[in-house]
Amino acid sequence: MSPWPSSRVQTVAKPDDTIMVMCRSGGRSAIAVNMLAKAGFKNVFQIIDGMEGDPVKEPDGVFLGQRLKNGWKNSGCPWTYKLTPDRMLLSKQLA
């Protein structure tokens, strides 16, 4: 297991803090939750279905392939594409 996720999270959270993890569709966040739990974080939760949810799979529909099913933004929760750099924690390789 890579030390990156837990060591980076330790810079902003303690093992007893509540941490909510989300990715685009839910797959990577599930892996991250498991890694953080193994690293000793006790209150880690995945936001299921991710930010954008699942793609529409009805082949005859006009929305085929668009991520319009479930997910954070499709359930009416607040979201934006506008980034807030001072609230972001990036890998040193990405910064």
pLDDT at 4: 52
pLDDT tens digits, 15-54: 999 999 999 988 899 999 999 999 999 999 999 899 988 9
Summarize the confidence of residues 45-73 as an average pLDDT: 91
Summarize the confidence of residues 72-94 as an average pLDDT: 79
Core vs surface per residue 21-40: b (16+ CB within 10 A) or e: bbbebbeebeebbebbeebe
The SS3 of residue 68 is: strand
Q: Is the pLDDT of residue 1 over 50?
A: no
